[in-house]
Structure 1
Amino acid sequence: MASYNLLEFGMYVERAGEKVRYDRVAEVIRNVDADVWAVQELADEDALRRLANTTGLRCDVPDSDGAMGEVACDPGRNGFGVGLLWKPGIEPLPGTLRRYTFDVYFHGLVKVELDVGGIRLQAASAHLTPFGSPQIVTEARRVVSNLTRPDGCPPGFVGSDSNSITGDRIRRQDGRWDWHAADPYAGQDWYDALVWQCTWRYDPRTGRRIHRADRAAGDVLRAGGLHDTGAVLDVPFAATVGYWPTGDPYGPRDIDHIRVTTALTPAIRSSRVYRCELALTASDHLPKVAEIDLAALAERPTLPQAA
């Protein structure tokens, strides 16, 4: 699976250089060659359809009666849509498309159930608020419910622009439990935009503001049973943002994540950031890619077989 924020894809088609950039996004997707894509910052459903046609992927989901026409896209409450793409041969299950445009999300979440070689899986794409707590924590709780409720739902994964670093903990070699992701704001002087990324307190003697990364949303996701693939494997830090020439005051960070439900954690084989010259000129986010070996699952959530 891969997760990729496409940077206003299809929103400003007349802007100079956008056609070239859109073509680069499509080439990145073809080069990564993932089976399932969670994408963010879509203009609308038509933008997702065009991307699917360009890359040879699919995004159409049949309704409960089996008729095609639904698109795996949540257009987003504030104009930044999210979508799902998958390779031919993977089949979306009729009537399983869910959109959450007018739920608690500032942007949105879309989910569909897929038949992957006879195994039933949920796939979701999400884009959390850029404006921090408490809204981002509320959204994280809703992501948990979308992927883990009702009880007995199939295992699954969600790719997201999380707009925050993870809150997953790992056990170090010396036995201590610690955050997997280091605080990217440690050592920085305070600036106004940190109000959306940090918590803070004041030194009672000096009155100086002391800040640190707000990990509350990531902690909620992990506590609710959605595990960051990079933390599960303890992969070294690699930034997904912070290289684009405009629009990001924070510096290099990893705010794009692929999370899986607990049942899928034994099947995670790799988690990485796809970085190359092409990707660095296609979007202000780099794709996050995770390999999941479904043959490794102890319990395979297979579809019912016809009599």
Structure 2
Amino acid sequence: MTYNIKTGGYDGSRGTRLDAIAEVIGSALPDVVALQELRGDSGPWLAERLGMRMVRARSSWGQPVAVLIGPEWTVLTEGTVARPFHHAAARVEIATLGGPLTVISAHLHPHWGWRRLHEARWLVTAVGKARLALVLGDLNTLDPWTDHQERLRALPPAYRVRHLRWRPLGREPSDRDIGTVARVDTRAVAALDAAGLVDVFRAVGEGPAETAPTALGGAEFSGMRLDYLFATPGLAAHVRSCRIIKTPAADRASDHYPVVAEIDI
């Protein structure tokens, strides 16, 4: 599972969404969870509540990420992808009957496509020659296989520009920018695809692909797929299913829906 839990599950004076987040994760019974947007003690709290082990990657500028692993799995190696990510990337190697499984939880740059492209390339390097590997997380990037014109027109200009390659200097982006003087920036996802990694939801996904926003809303979203699982070909051959959890609990837990895949290795 990959899950952006929105500001660590904290809503300031309004309290936390941690119980709802734990309910969503627990209902899927995942063996491995990639979490993004940790804050404070939200990661350790969720790990203890779910009875899982946590490997966290701290962030210098943004928010930490983590991988939670079920207690029945043996962790061979763990650590941080040592690159200057805006947020972070955590890397864990787990023993399975099919061989070592590398899991990387990442959260790419929220604002600039060129930074996301560099971060995606660092993820490819982190996968290396691993036969069984999974890169998952909030990639903050639209995919290159879908027409995004209408969803981008629905965004306020300040958020729309995050997903455009460039815009003329001296003016704000307008509707005519889309598909004309500015192109949709899908380079980060395209880089993972070009490296031979398989978009798991695109391969076997069930139902609508959009992962944000939930009922909690968010002006920066307009029905978008930003959360992904990418597998090496050796792992993708064993994927049974992939779906987005859209339940009442998920609607109140975060502004992103979690994505979960079943892999038989």
Q: TM bucket by the smaller chain?
A: 0.7 to 0.9
Q: Which whole-Å deviations, capped at 9, do the CAs of 1:204-230 have from their partners, x for residues lacking one? A: xxxx53335311111101111221101
Q: Does the 8 A contact of 1:124 with 1:159 survive in 2?
A: yes
For residue 119 of structure 1, give the secondary structure of its aligned residue in structure 2.
Answer: coil
Letter in 2 for 1:210: I
Does residue 292 in structure 1 map to residue 263 in structure 2? yes
Does residue 3 in structure 1 map to residue 7 in structure 2? no
In the aligned structure 1, how far is the partner of 2:245 from the partner of 2:152? 28
| Partner residue in 1 for 2:79 | 98
Q: Which whole-Å deviations, capped at 9, do the CAs of 1:128-163 have from their partners, x for residues lacking one? A: 00012211111111111111x2x3x34210211010
Does residue 49 in structure 1 map to residue 44 in structure 2? yes
**1:156 aligns with one of 114, 127, 133:** 133
Q: Does the 8 A contact of 2:201 with 2:243 survive in 1?
A: yes
More strand by share: 1
In the aligned structure 1, how far is the partner of 2:139 from the partner of 2:166? 20
Between stretches 239-248 and 264-273, larger displacement belongs to 239-248
TM-score (norm 2): 0.87
Q: Does the 8 A contact of 1:141 with 1:221 survive in 2?
A: yes
RMSD: 2.4
Distance 1:236 1:279, change over 3 A: closer
User: How many residues align structurally?
Assistant: 255
| Partner residue in 1 for 2:71 | 88
| Partner residue in 2 for 1:110 | 90
| Partner residue in 2 for 1:31 | 27
- Please report how far the alpha carbon of residue 194 of structure 1 lies from its aligned counterpart in structure 2 after TM superposition: 1.3
Q: Which whole-Å deviations, capped at 9, do the CAs of 1:268-293 have from their partners, x for residues lacking one? A: 11111001001100011110011111
Distance 1:116 1:81, change over 3 A: same
| Partner residue in 2 for 1:226 | 197
- Please report how far the alpha carbon of residue 166 of structure 1 lies from its aligned counterpart in structure 2 after TM superposition: 2.3
Q: Does the 8 A contact of 2:205 with 2:243 survive in 1?
A: no
In the aligned structure 1, how far is the partner of 2:245 from the partner of 2:88? 24
Q: Does the 8 A contact of 2:143 with 2:190 survive in 1?
A: yes
In the aligned structure 2, how far is the partner of 1:31 from the partner of 1:267? 23
For residue 97 of structure 1, give the secondary structure of its aligned residue in structure 2.
Answer: strand
- Between the aligned residues of both structures, percent identity stands at 31
Distance 1:24 1:216, change over 3 A: same
In the aligned structure 1, how far is the partner of 2:228 from the partner of 2:254? 16
Counterparts of 1:1-307 in structure 2 under 5 Å? 2-9=1-8, 15-18=13-16, 21-44=17-40, 46-59=41-54, 72-93=55-76, 96-100=77-81, 103-117=83-97, 119-147=99-127, 149=128, 151=129, 153-167=130-144, 179=145, 181-183=146-148, 185=150, 188=153, 191-199=157-165, 208-211=176-179, 212-233=183-204, 235-294=206-265
For residue 7 of structure 2, give the secondary structure of its aligned residue in structure 1.
Answer: strand
Q: Which whole-Å deviations, capped at 9, do the CAs of 1:96-144 have from their partners, x for residues lacking one? A: 21213x6231111000100124631101100000012211111111111
Q: Does the 8 A contact of 1:274 with 1:288 survive in 2?
A: yes
Q: Does the 8 A contact of 2:36 with 2:138 survive in 1?
A: yes
Between stretches 102-111 and 126-135, larger displacement belongs to 102-111
Unaligned runs of 5+ in 2: 169-175
